[in-house]
Copies of this chain bind each other. A is one copy, B any other.
Amino acid sequence: MPLRDQKKSRVTLLDVARHANVSRATASLVIRKSPLVGSETRARVEEVMRELGYVYNMGAARLRAERSHTVGVIVPNLTNPFFAELLSGIEAMIDDAGLVVILANSGDLVERQDVVMQRMREHGVDGVILCPAAGTEPTYLRRATEWNLPLVQVLRHISDEADYAGVDYAGGMHQAVDYLVSLGHHRIAFAVHGPIHSAYHERISGFGEAMRSHGLGADMIIRVPNQLGEIANSANLLLNHSEPPTAVICFNDVIALGLSAGLYDCGVKIGSDFSLIGFDDVTDAEAMRPRLTSVSTAPATIGENAARLLLSRLRDPLRSPEKIVQQTQLHVRQSCAPAMIAAV
């Protein structure tokens, strides 16, 4: 029983309406679950939809209703475990709301971000969750406002004029520094990598504040490679320092894993000879031995927060900008030891 010729087999709402002996507008009210339709009529139309295998055409609805039920998600990296967990949290919330995620990788480049943002606009996304590429200017977010495009910044804060879901990076740095100081460490390094962005600045200044609050110097900041496999070689930056640190706080768990491997290669025993703290507490770090002490940021929860903000923005476009800042939690495990027995 073809309703259309073989080249186009799509069952439309008009087909459904004809079979159910109602108008297209009634059939449309049925699929939108409008209370204005009688229950008999509704049942009849729904039965016909099932029989004919009707599939809603979101594209057609979108043209008239000016709503695509899609959300753009732009991240700077797809393979870093942190972003994988963030994306997981975002997708779960968006899915729960009955929308779909259109995904793009900016590669942490503003030019690529422009390209994918334009593509999102062409696809008429209802809103965007953006982890801004390094170097993104506040004017960039202002343009989204001009476009009437709902937007949530996540993890990297560019502007107070848009919603933001992030982490209390400074608070997390304080927790790490305070803990190491409580173990008697005075020479504490901070290992960083990646591009300069708000999350970077917050961690740097958080480290500085925390160290100074204990009357300690905050200048021992080493820069390591971005690639996990190359970070191990940077362990000697710590060991060959004129005044070697007794502990290191890592910008993220990728650095913690990499430095841990490098210190192992140099015969240094973490958790006795040397203390090390990660940041983010991603799942992948669970396999590290000794067990990693890490500042937990719960990336999946941050993703959920971002999605929550966007969904809220879609319901109330004129709501004033809001921030959800996730508090960190230090998970003490076995990668740190008191400084007195940790002397190198």
Q: A59-B124, A95-B105 are in contact. Are A287 and B100 (CB under 8 A)?
A: no
Q: A68-B59, A264-B289 are in contact. Are A102 and B102 (CB under 8 A)?
A: yes
A100→B66 CA distance, assembly (Å)? 20
**Main SS at interface, chain A:** helix
Of A85, A92, A118, A284, chain B has the most CB atoms within 10 Å of the CB of A284
Chain B residues near A102: list those with CB within 8 A.
70, 100-103
> Is there a chain B Cβ closer than 8 Å to A316's Cβ?
no
Query: Is A103's CB under 8 angstroms from B91's CB?
Result: yes
A315→B315 CA distance, assembly (Å)? 40
Interface size on A, residues (CB 8 A): 58
Within 8 A of B (CB), among A177-209: none
Query: Is B289's CB under 8 angstroms from A261's CB?
Result: yes
Chain B residues near A120: list those with CB within 8 A.
100
A228→B59 CA distance, assembly (Å)? 41
Within 8 A of B (CB), among A113-143: 116, 118-124
A98→B228 CA distance, assembly (Å)? 30
Q: A63-B63, A264-B289 are in contact. Are A228 and B100 (CB under 8 A)?
A: no
Interface-side segment among A19-27, A76-84, A157-165: A76-84
State the oligomeric state as a number of copies: 2
Chain B residues near A229: list those with CB within 8 A.
283, 286-287
Of A8, A68, A258, A286, chain B has the most CB atoms within 10 Å of the CB of A286
Q: A78-B91, A100-B104 are in contact. Are A58 and B228 (CB under 8 A)?
A: no
A28 to chain B minimum Cβ distance, whole angstroms, is 14
Contact of A88 among B78, B258, B300 (CB under 8 A): B78
Chain B residues near A289: list those with CB within 8 A.
260-261, 264-265
Query: Is B92's CB under 8 angstroms from A105's CB?
Result: yes
> Is there a chain B Cβ closer than 8 Å to A62's Cβ?
yes
A157→B325 CA distance, assembly (Å)? 43
A81→B231 CA distance, assembly (Å)? 19
A120→B70 CA distance, assembly (Å)? 11
Within 8 A of B (CB), among A277-293: 283-284, 286-289
Chain B residues near A98: list those with CB within 8 A.
119
Chain B residues near A213: list those with CB within 8 A.
none
A230 to chain B minimum Cβ distance, whole angstroms, is 9
Residue of B nearest to A232 (CB): B287
A153 to chain B minimum Cβ distance, whole angstroms, is 20
Within 8 A of B (CB), among A52-74: 55-60, 62-63, 66, 68-70, 73
Of A60, A91, A287, chain B has the most CB atoms within 10 Å of the CB of A287
Of A68, A91, A121, A283, chain B has the most CB atoms within 10 Å of the CB of A283
- Kindly list the 10 A-B residue pairs having the minimum CB-CB distance in the complex, ordered from nearest: A257-B287, A229-B286, A78-B88, A84-B84, A264-B289, A56-B122, A103-B103, A59-B62, A261-B287, A58-B122
